[in-house]
Amino acid sequence: MGAEEEFLLVAPVSRAVSPEAEKVVAEAAGELGDRVGMELTRYQVEVRTDPHTSLAQFAEQVRSTRAAVVRAAARQGLRVISSGSPVLGQACPPPLTAGPRYTLSAAMFRALDDEQCACACHIHVGVPDLATALQISNRLRPWIPVLIALTGNSPFWAGRDTGYASWRTTTWGRWPVAGPPPYFESPSHFEDLVAGFITNGSVMDRGGLYWDIRPSHHVPTLEFRVADATATPGETVLLAGLIRAMTATALQAIAAGDPVFRPGPEMLRAACWRAARDGLAGQGIDLSTGGLSPAIGQVDQLLSWLQPALENHGDTEMVNTLWSRLRAAGSGADRQRAAYQRRASLTDVIDHLISATNSSG
C-alpha cells in the first residue's frame, strides 16, 4: 500500500492560499526527490510514499514526508495545511500550473477547472491484474459513502461554510467520469468504456478517470480516490489500514465465490451525496434498506467486517486506536467547524489545520 497526499500552501499572516508551489516543490525535492511534485493549481503540493507492507512503517513515512514539506515551505516563508478545500483566499479561478497537460485540461473542461483547488488523499493497494482489480472494485463500491463520511475535511470554501462535511466530493462529482465507479462486468467492459471516453473527449486519457475507485493507469494497484486530504497523519494511516483490509476481505470473498452486493447506481449516488453533506456526525443512507442510520454506526459495521483481515495484517490495535481517537474528536470537518466556533474566526481554522497537518497523531 502507498499514499498520495495533496496539501495547500498558505501565507502565514493572511492565511490565504499562496501560489508558490513551484518554489516549495523545488525546495522539498532536496529531501524527497521525485516523491514531491506539482498539482493542477499553484496552490497545491503533492507528495507520495513508497509502497509498504507494514502499516507502522507506512505511518513513519507519512509523518516524515509531511514534516519535510512543512520545513521546505517554512524556508520559503509559507505554511502547509491538509484540507480538502481552501478556507481563505482567491480560490476560484485558481492559478493553474504551467504545462501542456494542464493547458489542455483548461481547454477541454473550461470552468470545471475553476473549482479544482481541492485536495485529496489517494490510497493505492497492490493487485495482481486488471480483472482482479475490477472484481475488488465491484465488491467495495457500496462502502464508498462510509469512507466519504469518515474522511470529510472540506467544510469551508474561500471564506464561507458550505454546509457540507466534504465539499470536495461535490465539486469532483461534476466531472464527466467521476464519483462511484460502475459495476464492471468484465475487463473488456472496462476497456470499452475507457476507449469510448477517450474517443468522445470525456477524458484526456486514463489519468482522467476520476472514479472514487479505479485501476491505476501507471502502477499495478487499485487506487482509492474517495477521501479528502486528511487533517492529521494518523487519519491517513487509519484510511490506509482500512482500505488494505477491505481489499484483502474482498479478495477472500472472490475466492469463496460469495455473492456481490450490487446497489443501484441511483441509490449509491444519493448515499454519497448524503455522506458528503452530513459527514461522520450525521445520518447516512443504509444501502441495504434505503433508510437512514448513524454514520458512526456504519463505520463500526465496516470495522466489524474487517476484523479478520486486520488481525491477519497485525493492524488491529493500530486501526482500532486511531478509529477510537477519531470517533472521540470528530471528523476533520467537525474539528474545522469547532475551531471556527470558538471565536467565529476563519484564521483560527487555518491555525488549527497548520498544527494538525504536522502533528504526531
**Residue 186: predicted pLDDT:** 97
In this model, does residue 361 exceed pLDDT 90?
no
End-to-end CA distance of the chain: 20
SS3 call for 360: coil
What is the distance of C-alpha 104 from the center of its chain?
24
**Residue 118: predicted pLDDT:** 94
Helix (H) or strand (E) holding 46: strand 44-48
Least confident of 85-89, 207-211, 215-219, 312-316: 215-219
**Residue 80: predicted pLDDT:** 98
Residue 179 near residue 269, CB atoms below 8 Å: yes
pLDDT in tens, 55-82: 999 999 999 999 999 999 999 999 999 9
pLDDT in tens, 304-342: 999 999 999 999 999 999 999 999 999 999 999 999 999
Mean pLDDT, to the nearest integer, of 5-15? Answer: 97
- Strands 79-81 and 2-10 turn out to be antiparallel
pLDDT-derived band at 104, boundaries 50, 70, 90? confident
**Residue 359: predicted pLDDT:** 93
Q: What is the mean pLDDT of the chain?
A: 96
**Residue 23: predicted pLDDT:** 98
Place of cell 499514499: 3
Amino acid at 331: S
**Residue 262: predicted pLDDT:** 97
Mean pLDDT, to the nearest integer, of 8-28? Answer: 97
pLDDT in tens, 239-248: 999 999 999 9
- Quick one: CATH architecture of 2-331+346-356? 2-Layer Sandwich (3.30)
Mean pLDDT, to the nearest integer, of 38-60? Answer: 97
Mean pLDDT, to the nearest integer, of 40-44? Answer: 94
pLDDT in tens, 251-273: 999 999 999 999 999 999 999 99
Residue 45 near residue 25, CB atoms below 8 Å: yes
In this model, does residue 91 exceed pLDDT 90?
no
pLDDT in tens, 127-147: 999 999 999 999 999 999 999
β-sheet bridge partners, residue 160: 157
Closest CA to 214 of 145, 138, 101, 147: 138
**Residue 111: predicted pLDDT:** 84
Q: Where are the domains of the chain?
A: 2-331+346-356
pLDDT-derived band at 290, boundaries 50, 70, 90? very high
**Residue 183: predicted pLDDT:** 98
In this model, does residue 103 exceed pLDDT 90?
no
Helix (H) or strand (E) holding 100: helix 100-109
Mean pLDDT, to the nearest integer, of 101-119? Answer: 85
